[in-house]
Amino acid sequence: MSRDEADIRSLDSFVWSVAEILRGDFKQSEYGKVILPFVVLRRLDCLLEGSKEAVRATDASLPEDIDPDSRDLILFEAAGARIRAYNTSRFTFESLKGQDPTQLHDNLLDYITKFSPNIRDIFLDKFLFTDQLKRLKEAGLLWQVFERFCQIDLHPEVISNIEMGYLFEGLIRRFSEISNETAGEHFTPREVVRLMVELLIAGDEGLSGSGVIRRVYDPACGTGGMLALAEEAIAKANARKVRVELYGQELNPESFAICKSDMLVTGHNPQQIAFGNTLTNDAHAGTDFHYMLSNPPYGVDWKKYQDAIKTEAAEQGFAGRFGAGLPRVSDGQLLFLQHMISKMRVDETGSRIGIVMNGSPLFTGGAGSGESEIRRWMLEEDWVEAIIALPTDLFYNTGIQTYVWLLSNRKAPERKGKVQLIDASGERFWKPLRKSLGSKRREIPEEARREILRLYNEMPEGEGAEGEGADRAVSKVFATTDFGYREIRVERPLRLNFRASPERIARLREEKAFLKLSEDEREEIEVILLALGDRLFTQRPAFEKALKKALAAEGVKLAAPTRKAILSALSERDEEAEVCTDKDGNPEPDPELRDSELVPLTEDWRDYMAREVTPFVPDAWVDESHRDARDGDVGRVGYEINFNRYFYQYVPPRPLAEIDAELKQLEAEIAGLLKEVAA
C-alpha cells in the first residue's frame, strides 16, 4: 500500500470515528446524512479560508441594489480562479472554535446561508443539512461533532481532489453497507474506471494535438468519480495543455451534492452537473460529447418512469433517444446506453462511449424484442468496437460478472465491420483482496489493466491465456453480422383422429360453447354422438361427413362455435392419421408442434432447412408469412452476444479409474471413523 493510500484510509477511519458520537441518537442509516455534508463543509472551509477577507471586503464595497448575478461574478473573482464559490460570513471553522459553544448552531446557520447560491443549494436543498444541525443541537452533540471535524485538514495542498474522491466513496460504501443499501448505485471500483478511461483514450488519435478540448459526460455520475479519473487520464495523455469540460446528471441527492461540490472545488462549472432522472428529464438535451462513460444501475426497473419513456419513444422515434426499442421494464441499462448514443458527435472527431453493464444486455430478449432490436441497431450501425468480460467479485454490492462495452461512431479502419470480444475474467486478470470490501473480493491489478489494453490495441485473434491452457483464447474478433440470426417459424402438419367415445364426450361437456346450450340441446347432441359408435376416424373429412349425416337424420343444426367445440373435444393427435388440410387443400399447421430455428444471417434459410431440418423431419415447412418487420424478409432478425459460446473451454471428465479409487479411499475413511465412534 502506498503512503497516499495509507493516508486516505487513516483519514477515512478518522472521519468514520465521528459515527461513534452519533451512536444511540441517530440510526446507523442516518450517519451519512450528518458526516457527508460535514466533510464537504470542512473541505470548502479549507478552500475558501485564504480568500475570506478579500471576499468580505469586496462584498462590503458593493452597492446594495447590485444585480445578484453581477454580485456573484464579482465575488467569484475575489475568491480566486480555483473555485466558483464564496462565503461572506465572518465565520470560519477556526473562528467558530473561539465562539460560545451554545451559539454554535446559530453561527453555523449564518456560515452556511452566506455561501454563494450554488453552494447554499447543496446544503439546504440536497443534504437538508439544517435539519441535521437541529437534531445534533437537540441531542447535545453538535459541538462534539464540529470539534472533531476541526481536527482534520482538507486543504487541497494536503488532500488532492482525487484523494477526496476516494474519501467520499469509501464513506458512502460504509454507509450503504450498514443501512443495507446498494453501494454499487453510488460508485464503481477505481480500477474498473481506470480501465474504461484508458480504453476510451486509446482509440482517440486526436488527443495528442494542441489546443484540444474534450467534453466528458456521465449520465449516472454518482459522486463524480468517473469524471474525475477521466480528466486525470486525459491530462496525462496530452503533455500539452488540454481543456476538459465535465458534465453529468445524478438522481441521488447526496451523491449529486458531493459531485457538485467536487466540481466547485476543482474549478469546473457546477451548472454542468444536473440533478434529476436522466431517462425522463435529460438536463443536457442538445449537447454532444467526445467521451461518455457510465456504470448505470443494473437490474433496476423503470416501471414508475415508463409512461414518459414510452411516450418519447412513440412520439419521437429515432429523432428522440429510444427509437431503437425499449428493453423489458425490469432492467433499464440499455435505456442509458441509447441515451448516450444520442449524444454522439457527428463531426470528424466523433465520440467514444464506455459503459459497464451486467450480462443481461448481451443476450436477454429473443428476435423482435426490445433488447434484440437495440443490439441490432448498434451492430448494424457499426458502433460497437469491443466488449470486455471482467472478473466476478469486483463490485462492492454484487459478485456477478460485468462487461465493459466500448462504442464509437468513428471506428479505426481496421475495426470497421468488426467487434472484438475480450475474455478478461480468468485468473490472469485479477488478484484477491487481502480483506473483502462488501462483495468485492478481487481487484484488477495494474499489470492486468495493461494486458487488457494491449489486447485491445493489438486486436489479436486467439491470444493464448498463460496458465489456463494454450488452446484458451481471450481475444476474438467477429464480423458484426456474426451475432445476428433469423428466427424462422417451422411448422409441421396437424394430424388428428376422431372418436365419439364416452371419454371424449365427457371432454365436450367442459367446452364453453357447448355449455352455453340448453340442457335439452346438450342431451340431444350427446345421444347423436354416442350413436356414431366407438369407431376411430383417421381422416377429418370422413368424421365430419359422418357427423353431418347423423345430425341431419335427427334434424339438428349446429352453430359454428358448437361444431368447433365438438371437433376439438372428440379429436386427439395421431402421427398415423392423415394430414388435416384447409379449404384450399394446404396442410394445416399443428400449433403444438410449431418450432423455431435460428438461422445465421450469413446463411440462406432454405439451405439451412435442407441441411438441418428436412433430413430429420421431412414433412416440416417454413411459415413464410412470419417475416421481419424491418426488412420484410422471411424470419425475424435477432442479435445476441453469447460469451460462453465463444470462449467455452471443454474440460474432459476425470478417468473412471481415478474416480473409483477416490471413492474407495473415502469409503475406507468413513469406515474407520465409524469404528472409532462404535469403540
State which of 558, 573, 588 marks the end of a domain. Answer: 573
Q: Give the predicted TM-score (pTM) of the model.
A: 0.83
Residues 343 and 463 in one domain: yes
Residues 427 and 332 in one domain: yes
114-141 pLDDT, tens digit per residue, is: 999 988 988 999 889 999 999 999 999 9
Whether residue 469 has pLDDT greater than 50: no
- Domain assignment present for residue 106? The answer is yes
Handedness of CA 459, 235, 450, 432 (dihedral sign): negative
Whether residue 313 has pLDDT greater than 90: yes
- Domain assignment present for residue 670? The answer is no
496-498 vs 571-573, strand pairing mode: antiparallel
Whether residue 438 has pLDDT greater than 80: no
Percent of the chain with pLDDT over 70: 94
Average pLDDT over residues 304-330: 94
Give pLDDT, residue 178: 65
Average pLDDT over residues 344-350: 90
Residues of the domain holding 503: 496-573
State which of 573, 608, 637 marks the end of a domain. Answer: 573
Residues 147 and 255 in one domain: no
H or E segment to which residue 49 belongs:
none
Number of residues in the chain = 679
Residues 457 and 520 in one domain: no
Give pLDDT, residue 319: 94
Of the candidate ranges 26-35, 204-213, 487-496, 601-610, the one whose mean pLDDT is the lowest: 204-213
- Domain assignment present for residue 445? The answer is yes
Percent of the chain with pLDDT over 90: 63
Average pLDDT over residues 351-372: 94
Whether residue 628 has pLDDT greater than 80: yes
Whether residue 654 has pLDDT greater than 70: yes
Alpha carbon separation from 614 to 103, 607, 619 (Å, rounded)? 89, 10, 7
- Domain assignment present for residue 635? The answer is no
150-175 pLDDT, tens digit per residue, is: 998 888 888 877 677 677 767 776 77
State which of 551, 573, 595 marks the end of a domain. Answer: 573
Whether residue 45 has pLDDT greater than 60: yes
Task: Calculate the average pLDDT of the chain.
Answer: 89
Q: Of 62-66, 179-183, 648-652, which one has max mean pLDDT? A: 62-66
Give pLDDT, residue 465: 44
Place of cell 468413513: 670
Cα 101 to Cα 52: distance, rounded to the nearest angstrom: 22
**Do residues 43 and 257 lie in contact, with contact meaning Cβ atoms separated by under 8 Å?**
no
Residues 112 and 205 in one domain: no
Q: What is the DSSP letter of 281?
A: S
Give pLDDT, residue 186: 47
Give pLDDT, residue 547: 94
Give pLDDT, residue 8: 59
Domain count along the chain: 3
Average pLDDT over residues 362-390: 96
- Domain assignment present for residue 170? The answer is no
The pLDDT-based confidence of 232 (bands split at 50, 70, 90) is confident
Residues 294 and 212 in one domain: yes
In the beta sheet, which residues pair with residue 389?
A: 403, 423
Residues 141 and 218 in one domain: no
Of the candidate ranges 309-318, 459-468, 566-575, the one whose mean pLDDT is the lowest: 459-468
Average pLDDT over residues 453-458: 94
- Domain assignment present for residue 609? The answer is no
Give pLDDT, residue 177: 63
**Do residues 604 and 471 lie in contact, with contact meaning Cβ atoms separated by under 8 Å?**
no
> What are the φ/ψ torsions at residue 269 (nearest 5 degrees)?
-75, 110
Whether residue 374 has pLDDT greater than 60: yes
Give pLDDT, residue 467: 41
Coil vs helix vs strand at 119: helix
Residues 472 and 502 in one domain: no
The pLDDT-based confidence of 270 (bands split at 50, 70, 90) is confident
The pLDDT-based confidence of 182 (bands split at 50, 70, 90) is very low
**Do residues 268 and 245 lie in contact, with contact meaning Cβ atoms separated by under 8 Å?**
yes
Give pLDDT, residue 468: 44
- Return left, alpha or beta for 390; rule: phi > 0 is left, psi -120 to 50 is alpha, else beta: beta
Give pLDDT, residue 161: 72
384-389 vs 418-423, strand pairing mode: parallel
- Domain assignment present for residue 380? The answer is yes
Whether residue 181 has pLDDT greater than 80: no
Residues 197 and 255 in one domain: yes
Residues 470 and 517 in one domain: no
Cα 88 to Cα 93: distance, rounded to the nearest angstrom: 14
More reliable by pLDDT, 654 or 333: 333
**Do residues 467 and 478 lie in contact, with contact meaning Cβ atoms separated by under 8 Å?**
no
- Domain assignment present for residue 204? The answer is yes
Handedness of CA 441, 447, 448, 450 (dihedral sign): positive
Residues 339 and 264 in one domain: yes
Residues 506 and 412 in one domain: no
Alpha carbon separation from 641 to 3, 216, 421, 652 (Å, rounded)? 43, 28, 9, 26
386-418 pLDDT, tens digit per residue, is: 999 999 988 877 788 999 999 999 999 999 999
More reliable by pLDDT, 56 or 679: 56
Give pLDDT, residue 81: 57
The pLDDT-based confidence of 184 (bands split at 50, 70, 90) is very low
Give pLDDT, residue 395: 84
Whether residue 341 has pLDDT greater than 90: yes
Amino acid at 199: L
Place of cell 495543455: 241
Whether residue 647 has pLDDT greater than 70: yes
Whether residue 6 has pLDDT greater than 70: no
Average pLDDT over residues 498-511: 94
Average pLDDT over residues 7-21: 75
Give pLDDT, residue 239: 63
Whether residue 4 has pLDDT greater than 60: no
